[in-house]
């Protein structure tokens, strides 16, 4: 398998993970850190709303 194929597969997996976080979070934020045009870190900050 070529390096370009491996990199493309890893990037696709990162995008799927990002979309999964976005779809599952109700309140909060998702931050994506990119270096040299590639995703290097994904942070999820979820908030829980307390009803009074």
Q: What is the pTM of this model?
A: 0.69
Rounded Cα distance, 5 and 28, in Å: 34
Within a domain: residue 35? Answer: yes
Per-residue model confidence as pLDDT tens digits over 1-52: 777 787 888 888 988 999 999 999 989 999 999 999 888 899 999 998 888 7
pLDDT, position 35: 93
- For every residue of 1-52, DSSP letters joined together read --HHHHHHHHHHHHHHHHHHHHHH-SSEEEEEEEETTEEEEEEEEE--PPP-
* Domain ranges, residue 31: 3-46
Within a domain: residue 51? Answer: no
pLDDT, position 7: 80
Within a domain: residue 52? Answer: no
Domain count, the chain: 1
Within a domain: residue 11? Answer: yes
């Amino acid at each position: 398998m070529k390096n370009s194929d491996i990199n493309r597969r890893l990037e696709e997996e990162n995008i799927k993970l990002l979309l999964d976080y976005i779809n599952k979070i109700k309140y909060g934020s998702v931050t994506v850190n990119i270096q040299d045009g590639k995703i290097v870190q994904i942070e999820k900050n979820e908030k829980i709303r307390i009803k009074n």
